[in-house]
Amino acid sequence: MSGIIAIVGRPNVGKSTLFNRLVEEKQAIIDAKSGVTRDRNYGEGVWNGREFTVIDTGGVTIKSDDAFEDAICKQVVMAMNEADVIIFMVDVKTGITDLDSNVADMLRRANKPFFLVVNKVDDGKYLYDATEFYSLGLGDYFTISSANGSGTGDLLDAVIAKLPPEKPKDDSKNVEEIPHVAVVGRPNVGKSSFINALIGEEQHIVTPVAGTTRDSIGTRFNKFGYDYYFIDTAGLRKKEKVNEDLEFYSVLRSIRSLESADVCVLMIDANDGIESQDMNILHLIIKNNKGVVICVNKWDLIEKTTNTARDFEENLRKKIAPFSDVPIIFTSVLEKQRIQKILEKIHEVYENRKRRVQTARLNEIMLEAIDRFSPPAIKGKNIKIKYVTQLPTPYPAFAFFASNAKYVKDSYKRYLENQLRKNFNFNGTTVRIYVRDK
Ligand code: GDP
Ligand code: GDP
């Protein structure tokens, strides 16, 4: 459950404008990934590493025989049922209308966190006008401009704080909760052979779990002390030869299966080294913040001298830099070499991706690293990082709170990331760094 935010209010107050702003960045990624048009009433957003879903009730179609007020009320009721948090939007330019008062009454009676948001405060001169909305009796409000984005950051901070915790943990180990693994790579690198080597004849195809996003048909592998769910193995086991020959098909399929994965095994062919399609898949993995284990397969076919593996590995790490803190294993699926090692690394990366660092220890180590090498002052602005906290994301993400945060350069963020990697084990997983004003 990512947490659902609903935006309610009269038409023309600016709901879709805010909606578009909230889903903008994430939507671009999703659209690029699936290549399909999305239902614009419903979108994914991310703020400070926290993912959420936004519903724009204004876009929800309504039966035409409903009276206008009824229709709006129905939207509010729907929002109260479906959402975790409600944004109630009003318009500073028109002031309070009867409809606004009705919605306010409904919200006041409902047992659901909500925020009164006064929109179209494009400029400080409207701040005074906004005070009229106190008379709705809903208490404090946020002033924003959906059009230019001002005030939306503070609003999101407050909204996110009211969302339920990201992944409610359950002790029973059903398939949803065991590590989800996607085996990805170009055609003919050995993905199917790997799955078949693991699962052999005693396959157990797991049926999709209704109502979840993890709906690709896969296989549960429970052996040698490991318990994994391999995604989309049906496709790997009965290969669609025609399509498989198309390079891009493997990328498309990777996109689909890596979406629900925790860890990806990226298989490449030792004869070819890492190619552009491999890099495309790797970038997708990184963009989606999944864990990764790189397998250089068909190692049996390589003529080896003392340093062959070392040189190959060095070269590979250079090519995938800066994301080079990743396990690389040389395998031969055909000769069943180092298959166990893959299973072991999947486990490690899964654990690294989940790793939570204690705040006290995190600050102790990182503030010392920052003391040793502080962010250089930029344009006369001193940057002082005051503290750091890990965000409640399924992958490692850290917020550093600083003065003049926006002047912190990417190169310095990379320094912070490297220090985190040096001190805590994040091998095989992305580490996101956010610097925020404090
Ligand atoms: P909805 O019907 O509530 O979804 O409203 P829209 O998002 O479609 O916006 C209605 C109109 O208000 C559009 O012409 C927007 O460009 C405009 N609008 C939305 N947000 C703002 C804002 O923050 N400031 C100003 N000045 N206009 C806005
Ligand atoms: P996929 O398209 O990635 O699923 O690749 P397959 O598993 O179908 O393998 C393609 C070909 O490579 C098959 O002929 C396999 O037998 C062969 N192959 C797979 N793994 C290895 C390996 O480790 N060494 C060698 N020599 N051949 C392999």
Residue 321's pLDDT is what? Answer: 93
The residue whose CA is least distant from atom 19 of ligand 2 is 190
d(CA 137, CA 155): 19
C-alpha distances out from residue 233 to 8, 211, 215, Å = 42, 20, 12
Residue 319's pLDDT is what? Answer: 95
d(CA 410, CA 283): 18
329 has a pLDDT exceeding 60: yes
pTM: 0.58
Q: Determine whether the shortest distance from the Cβ of 146 to ligand 1 is under 6 A.
A: yes
Q: Can you tell me the mean pLDDT for 4-25? A: 86
Q: Can you tell me the mean pLDDT for 354-381? A: 92
Q: Determine whether the shortest distance from the Cβ of 122 to ligand 1 is under 6 A.
A: yes
Ligand 2 atom nearest residue 193's Cα: 7
List strands edge to edge, sheet with 205-206: 205-206, 218-223, 226-230, 180-184, 263-269, 291-297, 328-330
Ligand 1 atom nearest residue 148's Cα: 23
Share of the chain above pLDDT 70, in %: 81
C-alpha distances out from residue 13 to 91, 144, 352, Å = 5, 12, 45
Residues forming beta bridges with residue 31, ordered by sequence position = none
Residue 221's pLDDT is what? Answer: 84
Residue 373's pLDDT is what? Answer: 92
80 has a pLDDT exceeding 90: no
CA of 269 to the centre of ligand 2 (A): 9
Residue 253's pLDDT is what? Answer: 65
Q: Can you tell me the mean pLDDT for 72-90? A: 82
Q: What is the pLDDT of residues 294-320, one digit of tens each?
A: 999 999 999 988 899 999 999 999 999
- The rounded mean pLDDT for the chain is 83
* Long-range own/partner contacts, residues 358-367 (CB < 8 A, 24 or more apart): 359/389, 359/390, 362/388, 362/389, 362/390, 362/398, 363/387, 363/388, 365/419, 365/423, 366/400, 366/416, 366/419, 366/420, 366/423
Say which residues have a Cβ less than 8 Å from residue 295's Cβ, sequence separation at least 6.
Answer: 194, 265, 266, 267, 268, 329, 330, 331, 342
The closest alpha carbon to 261, from 302, 234, 228, 239, belongs to 228
Helix (H, G, I), strand (E, B) or coil at 366: helix
CA of 13 to the centre of ligand 1 (A): 6
Residue 202's pLDDT is what? Answer: 43
Ligand nearest to C-alpha 119: 1
Q: What is the pLDDT of residues 132-159, one digit of tens each?
A: 999 999 999 999 999 999 999 999 999 9
CA of 2 to the centre of ligand 1 (A): 27
CA of 203 to the centre of ligand 2 (A): 19
Q: Determine whether the shortest distance from the Cβ of 254 to ligand 1 is under 6 A.
A: no
Residue 34's pLDDT is what? Answer: 42
Helix (H, G, I), strand (E, B) or coil at 358: coil
Ligand nearest to C-alpha 89: 1
User: Which amino acid is residue 429, in one-letter code?
Assistant: T
Confidence of residue 32 (pLDDT cuts 50, 70, 90): very low
Residue 236's pLDDT is what? Answer: 64
Confidence of residue 216 (pLDDT cuts 50, 70, 90): very low
Residue 387's pLDDT is what? Answer: 94
d(CA 348, CA 291): 10
Ligand nearest to C-alpha 334: 2
- Identify which of 186, 188, 250 to mutate to test ligand 2's pocket (most ligand atoms within 8 A of the CB): 188
The terminus-to-terminus CA distance of the chain in angstroms comes to 29
66 has a pLDDT exceeding 50: yes
From 168-177, 202-211, 277-286, 427-436, the region with the lowest mean pLDDT:
202-211
Ligand nearest to C-alpha 249: 2
Confidence of residue 234 (pLDDT cuts 50, 70, 90): low
Q: Determine whether the shortest distance from the Cβ of 13 to ligand 1 is under 6 A.
A: yes
CA of 122 to the centre of ligand 1 (A): 11
Strands 328-330 and 291-297: parallel
Give the residues surrounding ligand 2 with Cβ less than 6 Å away: 185, 187-193, 236, 244, 297-298, 300-301, 332-334
Confidence of residue 232 (pLDDT cuts 50, 70, 90): confident
More confident residue, 413 or 241: 413
Half-sphere exposure of 361 (CA within 13 A, CB side): 6
The residue whose CA is least distant from atom 6 of ligand 1 is 14
Q: What is the pLDDT of residues 337-353, one digit of tens each?
A: 999 999 999 999 999 99
Residue 47's pLDDT is what? Answer: 84
User: Which amino acid is residue 51, in one-letter code?
Assistant: E
H or E element in which residue 276 lies: helix 276-287
Half-sphere exposure of 158 (CA within 13 A, CB side): 16
Q: Determine whether the shortest distance from the Cβ of 15 to ligand 1 is under 6 A.
A: yes
